[in-house]
Amino acid sequence: MVARGTFAGPLPDWSHGLSAMTCLGDALERLAAETGFSGVMRVDRGGRTELARACGLAHRGLGVANRLDTQFAVASGTKAVTALTVVSLVEEGRLDLATTGRSVLGEDLPLIDDDVTIEHLLAHRSGIGDYVDEDAGVEVADYLLPVPVHELATTEAYLRVLDGYPAKFRPGERFAYCNSGYVVLALLAERVTGTPFHDLVGERVCAPAGMADTAFLRSDELPGRAAVGYLSAAGLRTNVLHLPVRGSGDGGIYTTVADVHALWAALFAGRIVSDRWVAEMVRPRSDVPEDSMRYGLGFWLHASSDVVLIEGEDAGVSFRSAHEPATGTTSTVISNTTDGAWPIARHLDDALMAAAEDR
């Protein structure tokens, strides 16, 4: 699911140097203590890490602390890697932005309009019904899935939860954030390649970006460096019954702050898809005034600058990362609680904006 945050402005180049970054780090640590933040925050400029802090616990029952290399789920942050996987297939000619979903789906998901294309799905302009409809005012801590979560371990298994939702509007008519659309994209990628979607992401995004700690982990067999997701800042209730046991195109990948930085670096170096396709993906397709942002293909875009964002929120997950290509500056906040990232992200946004105004 998408986070409903706001981004204050363009990221600065930290011309005030280390003293300003030290002050920011101290302020963020105080805020983390006040809010019970559990997660990791990091700021990079070019090839240099200017700030990195880990707070809270990855596993409360065992008292395991979060570390800078802890793997966290990023919810809808997954959509960026889904989009890159699909666009890599477009660049190879195995798909086209104009390819219709129906041409690959056959008789599956009959309520999806025959005119819905890859581009519509990537840009959230398909109009298809959503199995987690955020416009309906759902609460992320609710039990939203209509099937037992353990059954959702493969992309094909999602057919059961995607089916039966009528279209909301004609394809291309307007923007409406759609989780189902990104699971459909994963399904299309699987079918045209014959390769499981989880493997496609590893081959086409993680490997060229050097994201060694990024993968679709099962929530019921997390490895030692992966953080358990908690519903609130206190208590032991986890998200294991709220989300698919293994995610797909709309969410569920696990990563580290270092791998997020690696993703941005690889993206804008043209190592995942070519510069031409990077430019196409960050070209605005829609204005989203309710979020003070715009949207391209798989990426959120600042309303008036070149800052590109990926973000997500789900039960036990909150995440945002922003990158300014002009300065190579990245800020990332990732948390293993439902809304833990947002106070830190807002403070970081305010500090970045103030520093920009001082330049």
Q: Catalytic amino acids?
A: 76
Determine phi and psi for 302, rounding to 5 degrees.
Answer: -60, 150
Q: Are 78 and 253 in contact (CB under 8 A)?
A: yes
Distance (Å, whole) CA 23 – CA 47: 21
Distance CA(304)–CA(294), nearest Å, equals 9
Cβ–Cβ under 8 Å, residues 92 and 193 = no
What's the rounded Cα separation, in Å, for the pair 3 and 338?
10
Q: Which three-class secondary structure string do you get for 14-59?
A: CCCCHHHHHHHHHHHHHHHHHHCCCEEEEEEECCEEEEEEEECEEE
On whether the CB atoms of residues 9 and 303 are closer than 8 A, the answer is: no
Do residues 249 and 197 lie in contact, with contact meaning Cβ atoms separated by under 8 Å? yes
CA 2 to chain centre: 8
- Cα 117–Cα 251–Cα 42 angle in degrees, nearest 5: 120
| 261 φ/ψ angles, rounded to the nearest 5 degrees | -60, -40
Q: Which of 229, 214, 198, 304 is nearest to 264 (CA)?
A: 214
Give the C-alpha separation, 140 to 132, whole Å: 10
Neighbours of 274 (CB within 10 A): 13
- R_g of the chain computed on alpha carbons: 19
Residue 143: both structure tokens together: 């039990």
